[in-house]
Every structure is written in structure tokens, then in C-alpha cells.
């Protein structure tokens, strides 16, 4: 239908736009011209853009165009009356009132279409989001379902469906325990009910661990998570089963390895410790902690300077720094004072690295080698004694015969020469010195001979008492007080009583000489339960032994008194053949203490 528009304002433009759109597809209008006294009005200008004819007055339009419909949009009643006067027969008019109604209907239709398009787009978006969320739900490696508050399954992911061996339709709408019936996670009707209802009523996620029995043991982390609507009310519960079997097995292996490691370091007699690169203890075994009266955990997080004596801590810190700087293992021989006595330690320190190869600490393993050092010293001493013994035996035999001749001739000369003769005194000096030489030779022979002991089962105290009985009449002991502290419950020992008596006698004579035959001697016997040894000691109130001489006093021919220096060397050899040791120390009074240690006799 061909139409013209009277009034080229904004309404005209809008109507022209509608005729070019889809809104008027049921109402076909072909606008062929526009009339407006203002040819630059919005509708008139737009009409020219579309290639339509525009006119200033209706009369020109009637004479030049053929049309069947007039759409009056001026809103002026006078214009409408004029149109009716000039209207040709058969031409219809839609006045501005009807046009307004038509316009409102068209606007409502267009708005409805826009709303429809928007809703359609929203539905597509929601469908995409739904598909996306379902894809995420299905891509989870956990078994997952969504249940309503009555425990009916609303959704189930692929893993859950695959695990149950049922179809999707067999699961949706069923109870959780029905869906799991016959599987490893078959829980009956009640196992997870408490978790479910706690999650519903508390609004918080509930978690538990489920273990299935051997032989195909498995472990699962089970959760129940509330799902709330926009009003904050709980509409559903998300249930998941996360398989943690590998994690549990790995944790078991780690715990087992940690238990073995702790058992190893705490059972070791060596000192074992680990520090971080800042010098803080990370691990300390019982051997270290117990030595210093601590528990291992008291060391953790502290430095050596916080726990150990200053000199020892300084040595440890210095050696740790060397290992950390050079990043290689190092061996050290360290002397560490423990309870006032030096102990020799052979120590290895090596750097520790993390999985990235970054240096993160140092490990120390220290072994107390004091006994080995002592045995080495004793071995050297024994070798010295053996070598000197052979030499002494040869020399003694060679010297003994000439000395016997000198003594015999000197005694004869003394008898023949008058006591008034000046040479008589010289001969007596020769005889005295010869006798001294004979004593030296006899000691050399005793030292060289080193007779094997004739073992008997004896009481240590009886040997001590027998030795003291020999001393009571000696003039060297008349101004010396001898105090006996004898353990009456001391066990028996296997020994040669004569040789042990000789050792005790040597120690007592040395003590008397050191005190210049005036002072106090304490002789003591006791049982060392820890080491199962018998000990007896001789302590004097003399000046003691200088520290720099302690390591030399058992050497043959070493003496600070001008004697032959064989007494302690012979004593050392005797005790060594009894599988014992002789120790020397300084007493609290400042004097010397000699301790003889001999194993207890056990049948």
C-alpha cells in the first residue's frame, strides 16, 4: 500500500525507520512521499536520504504522486480538516490520534522483541554456563554428587557413575547409600548420615577419612559441603570422595623411614648432629645430649654456643664454617673436655644439600677414640719396654760378672787393710757404689725378665693388707699416716698376688718419696659396677706430678728423683699382663693419685 506522511518531524523519521525494519512485516506500507513546510525537518531530511519525494504543501503532492493512504502526524486539527476537504475519493487517512495508538503498539511490539532477544541470549548464556559447570564437575578426578536435603541425588559426575558401574538414570533420584551399594565404598544406610546432617544444620563442611579393608586396601577423604541459594538457605549438599591411597602409603613410607632414621641416630654411640647453615641444631642424638645432661629436643633451634662449653663451641663453629665454605667433607681430630677429662674424638663433617642442590646445612658424626688412643699409647709403651728389656738383659748379664769380681776383691782388701788406713774408707766407697750397681743390674734383670703371672683367685683387699704389713716397720713410713678406705664387698680378681703386691709397694714407696717421708697416704679399693672392674688407688699429699710429665713417668729410665726410673715401668708391665691399666691424676689436695684397674673374675 502506497502512503504519504503529513508532518516531517521526529515521528516521521521513526515511522520511516520502522518501515525499513522487521516490526511492520505484517503491515506492508510503501511510503512514497513526505509533506512538511520545513524541508529540513528530521523526517523530511531522512526521507530524502532514502530517495523519497518531499513537498512543502499537500496540493503539490496530490498533483504529482499516486497513493492510497495518508498518515497525518502533525497533531494539528486544522491540518486534518484541510486534508478532508482536498482528499480524493478512495484515499484513507490515519490521523495523528490513530497513529499514536499504532505507534504505541509498534513500540510495545519492538520492546517485546528486544526483551525476547535478550531472554534468548540469556538462556544461551545460562546453557553455556551450565555446560561449562557440568564439564568442570565431570572433569574432576574425585567422585562427586549433589544431593538435596533429603539425600536424593540431583547430579553425579562421570567418575561417580563409572565407579558405581550404574547408568546415569539408575543414579539420579536415588539415595547416596543405594547408589554405592555393592562397591568398595558401600556404607550401609548410616555411615555418612551424621556427616550429612551436621553439614545441613551447621552450614559447615564436614570431612572424614574412609579406609577400605585389605587385600585391596584404599583410603578416601570424604567431604560434605553445604550449597546455599541466594537467600543463604541450604538447598543441597555436595558430596565428594577423594582417593588418598597413594598419599597415605607415601606418608607410611616417610614415617617408616623417619622411625628408622631416629632409631639409627639414637641407638648410635657416636655423636650425630645436623645443623642448618646458620648454625642452629636441627637434629641431635641422645649420645650428645646425654653427655651434657640435656634432652635432644632442648638443642633444637639453638646454636652450639647456647648449649656447650665456650672452647668446645668455638671449635665446632669454626670447623662447621670451613665445611660450609668449601662445600666438601672434612675430617678432624678434636680433643673435647668431658667432666674435666679430655676425650679424643675423630670427627667427620660433610655439607648437606636440598633437592635443588642448594646448601642448607652440615652433618657431624664424631666417634670417641680415647680408648683407641690410649691403647695405641700402651702399645708404643709395650714395644718400648720389650725393646729395652732385651737390651737390659744383655747389658745386665755382661756387667754382672765384672761387678761380682770387683765386690769380691774389694771385700778382701777391706779385711786386709787396717781401719786406720786412709785407703780403707776409699775401698768402702768402692764397695757401696758396686753394691748400687748390683741393685741397678738386679732391677734391669727384673725388668727384662717380665715373668708371666701365676694367676690365683684372690681378694684384692688381702693383697693390700699384706703389702701394708710389710711397710709398718720401714723407717720411711714412721712419719706418714696411712688411711685405708677399703670396699668390703669388692669382688674377687684373678691375679698373681706377689706381682700385684710389688706394684702396690712401688706406688707406696713413690708416694713416700714424693712427700719426703712426711704426710698422708690414702689407699682405697672399690668396685666399678658400670665397667665390672676392681680398682685400688694410692693418693698422697705431696706436690703432685707436673702435667707435662704425666705422659713420661711410665717410660723406662725416666726419673725426677735421680733413681734408675724402672719402678713404674715394671709396674706398668705387670698390670698390663693382668689385662688392666694404671691411671694417674691430680688429687683435690694437689697430690698425685695412681689408680690400678683390673677386671673382675667371672666363672
CATH number, domain containing residue 549 = 3.30.565.10
Given this model, what pLDDT does residue 85 score?
78
The reply to whether 357 falls in a domain is: yes
Residue 502 pLDDT more than 80? yes
Given this model, what pLDDT does residue 450 score?
58
The reply to whether 557 falls in a domain is: yes
The reply to whether 422 falls in a domain is: yes
Among 212, 243, 274, residue at a domain's last position: 243
Q: Quick one: CA dihedral 417, 422, 426, 431, positive or negative?
A: positive
Mean pLDDT is highest, among 79-88, 94-103, 139-148, for 139-148
Same domain flag for 306 and 332? yes
Please list, in sequence order, all residues whose beta carbon lies within 8 angstroms of the beta carbon of residue 298, skipping any fewer than 6 positions away. 289, 307
Same domain flag for 225 and 275? no
Residue 207 host element (H or E): strand 206-212
The reply to whether 89 falls in a domain is: yes
Region of poorest pLDDT, from 26-30, 199-203, 322-326: 26-30
Same domain flag for 273 and 341? yes
- Give per-residue pLDDT as tens, 220-265: 999 999 999 888 899 999 999 999 998 988 888 888 888 888 888 8
What nine digits make up the cell of 478? 714412721
The reply to whether 520 falls in a domain is: yes
Same domain flag for 40 and 103? yes
- Give per-residue pLDDT as tens, 440-470: 676 666 655 555 778 899 999 999 998 888 7
From the list 505, 511, 536, the residue with the least C-alpha distance to 523 is 536
Same domain flag for 64 and 36? yes
The answer for 346, left when phi > 0, alpha when psi is -120 to 50, beta otherwise, is beta
Among 110, 127, 160, residue at a domain's last position: 110
Residue 302 pLDDT more than 90? yes
Q: What does each C-alpha distance from 26 to 19, 23, 30, 256 come to in angstroms?
A: 11, 8, 13, 84
Given this model, what pLDDT does residue 559 score?
63
The reply to whether 417 falls in a domain is: yes
Same domain flag for 359 and 406? no
Same domain flag for 308 and 410? no
Residue 41 pLDDT more than 70? yes
- Give per-residue pLDDT as tens, 168-189: 999 999 988 888 888 888 876 5
Among 368, 383, 398, residue at a domain's last position: 368
Residue 540 pLDDT more than 80? yes
- Tell me how far apart the alpha carbons of residues 246 and 41 are, in angstroms, rounded to a whole number: 81
Same domain flag for 360 and 377? no
Q: What percent of the chain has pLDDT over 70?
A: 89
Mean pLDDT across the chain, nearest whole number? 84
Residue 563 pLDDT more than 60? no
Q: 329 or 191: which carries more pLDDT confidence?
A: 329
Nearest-5° angle of CA 438, CA 442, CA 443? Answer: 120
Residue 21 pLDDT more than 80? no
Same domain flag for 379 and 270? no
What nine digits make up the cell of 419? 781401719
Same domain flag for 42 and 169? no
CATH number, domain containing residue 154 = 3.30.450.20
Q: Cell 710389688 maps to which residue?
A: 502
The reply to whether 127 falls in a domain is: no
Same domain flag for 540 and 506? yes
- Give per-residue pLDDT as tens, 395-435: 766 777 788 888 888 888 888 888 788 888 888 888 888 88
Say how many domains are in the chain. 5
Task: Quote the domain boundaries for residue 494.
Answer: 456-599
Is 253 exposed, middle or buried (CB count within 10 Å of its CB: 0-12, 13-18, 19+)? exposed
Is this structure's pTM higher than 0.75?
no
The reply to whether 119 falls in a domain is: no
Residue 390 pLDDT more than 80? no
Same domain flag for 199 and 307? no
Residue 599 pLDDT more than 80? yes
Given this model, what pLDDT does residue 274 score?
93
- Tell me how far apart the alpha carbons of residues 48 and 396 are, in angstroms, rounded to a whole number: 152
The total of other beta-carbon atoms located within 10 Å of residue 378's CB is 15
Confidence band for 389, pLDDT divided at 50, 70 and 90: low
Contact 344, 373 (CB under 8 A): yes
Which 3 state secondary structure label does DSSP give 337?
strand
Given this model, what pLDDT does residue 392 score?
66
CATH number, domain containing residue 46 = 3.40.50.720
- Give per-residue pLDDT as tens, 270-289: 899 999 999 999 999 998 89
Amino acid at each position: 500500500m502506497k502512503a504519504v506522511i503529513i508532518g516531517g518531524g521526529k515521528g516521521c523519521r521513526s515511522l520511516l525507520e520502522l518501515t525499513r525494519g522487521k516490526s511492520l512485516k505484517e503491515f506492508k506500507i510503501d511510503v512514497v512521499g513526505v509533506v512538511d513546510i520545513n524541508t529540513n525537518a528530521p523526517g523530511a531530511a531522512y526521507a530524502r536520504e532514502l530517495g523519497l519525494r518531499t513537498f512543502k504543501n499537500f496540493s503539490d503532492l496530490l498533483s504529482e504522486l499516486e497513493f492510497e493512504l495518508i498518515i497525518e502526524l502533525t497533531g494539528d486539527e486544522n491540518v486534518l480538516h484541510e486534508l478532508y476537504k482536498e482528499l480524493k475519493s478512495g484515499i484513507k487517512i490515519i490521523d495523528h490520534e490513530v497513529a499514536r495508538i499504532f505507534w504505541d503498539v509498534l513500540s510495545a511490539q519492538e520492546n517485546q522483541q528486544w526483551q525476547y532477544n535478550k531472554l534468548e541470549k540469556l538462556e544461551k548464556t545460562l546453557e553455556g554456563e551450565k555446560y561449562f559447570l557440568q564439564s568442570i564437575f565431570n572433569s574432576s578426578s574425585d567422585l562427586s554428587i549433589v544431593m538435596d536435603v533429603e539425600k536424593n541425588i540431583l547430579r553425579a559426575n562421570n567418575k561417580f557413575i563409572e565407579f558405581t558401574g550404574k547408568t546415569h538414570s539408575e543414579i539420579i533420584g536415588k539415595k547416596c547409600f543405594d547408589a554405592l551399594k555393592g562397591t568398595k565404598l558401600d556404607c550401609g544406610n548410616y555411615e555418612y548420615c551424621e556427616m550429612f546432617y551436621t553439614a545441613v544444620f551447621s552450614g559447615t563442611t564436614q570431612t572424614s577419612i574412609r579406609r577400605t579393608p585389605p587385600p585391596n586396601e584404599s583410603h578416601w577423604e570424604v567431604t560434605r559441603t553445604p550449597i546455599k541459594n541466594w537467600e543463604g538457605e541450604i538447598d543441597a549438599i555436595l558430596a565428594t570422595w577423594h582417593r588418598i591411597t597413594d598419599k597415605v602409603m607415601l606418608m607410611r613410607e616417610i614415617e617408616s623411614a623417619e622411625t628408622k632414621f631416629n632409631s639409627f641416630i639414637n641407638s648410635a654411640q657416636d655423636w650425630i648432629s645436623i645443623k642448618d647453615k646458620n648454625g642452629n641444631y636441627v637434629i641431635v642424638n641422645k649420645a650428645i645430649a646425654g653427655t651434657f645432661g640435656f634432652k635432644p629436643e632442648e638443642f633444637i633451634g639453638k646454636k652450639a654456643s647456647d648449649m656447650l662449653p665456650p672452647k668446645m663451641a668455638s671449635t665446632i663453629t669454626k670447623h662447621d664454617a670451613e665445611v660450609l665454605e668449601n662445600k666438601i667433607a672434612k675430617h678432624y681430630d678434636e680433643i673435647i673436655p668431658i667432666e674435666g677429662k679430655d676425650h679424643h674424638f675423630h670427627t667427620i663433617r660433610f655439607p648437606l644439600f636440598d633437592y635443588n642442590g642448594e646448601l642448607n646445612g652440615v652433618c657431624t658424626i664424631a666417634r670417641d677414640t680415647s680408648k683407641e688412643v690410649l691403647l695405641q699409647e700402651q702399645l708404643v709403651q709395650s714395644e718400648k719396654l720389650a725393646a729395652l728389656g732385651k737390651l737390659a738383659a744383655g747389658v745386665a748379664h755382661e756387667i754382672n760378672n765384672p761387678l761380682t769380681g770387683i765386690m769380691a776383691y774389694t771385700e778382701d782388701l777391706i779385711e786386709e787393710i787396717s781401719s786406720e788406713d786412709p785407703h780403707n774408707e776409699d775401698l768402702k766407697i768402692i764397695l757401696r757404689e758396686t753394691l748400687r750397681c748390683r741393685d741397678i743390674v738386679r732391677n734391669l734383670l727384673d725388668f727384662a725378665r717380665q715373668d708371666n703371672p701365676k694367676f690365683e683367685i684372690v681378694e684384692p683387699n688381702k693383697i693390700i693388707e699384706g703389702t701394708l704389713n710389710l711397710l709398718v716397720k720401714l723407717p720411711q713410713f714412721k712419719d706418714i699416716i696411712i688411711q685405708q678406705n677399703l670396699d668390703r664387698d669388692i669382688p674377687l680378681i684373678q691375679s698373681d698376688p706377689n706381682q700385684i703386691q710389688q706394684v702396690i709397694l712401688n706406688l707406696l714407696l713413690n708416694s713416700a718419696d714424693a712427700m719426703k717421708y712426711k704426710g698422708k697416704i690414702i689407699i682405697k679399693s672399690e668396685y666399678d659396677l658400670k665397667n665390672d672392674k676392681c680398682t685400688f688407688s694410692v693418693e698422697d699429699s705431696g706436690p703432685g706430678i707436673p702435667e707435662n710429665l704425666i705422659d713420661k713417668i711410665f717410660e723406662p729410665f725416666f726419673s725426677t728423683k735421680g733413681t734408675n726410673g724402672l719402678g713404674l715401668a715394671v709396674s706398668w708391665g705387670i698390670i698390663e699382663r693382668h689385662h688392666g691399666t694404671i691411671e694417674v691424676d691430680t688429687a683435690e689436695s694437689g697430690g698425685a693419685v695412681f689408680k690400678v684397674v683390673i677386671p673382675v673374675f667371672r666363672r
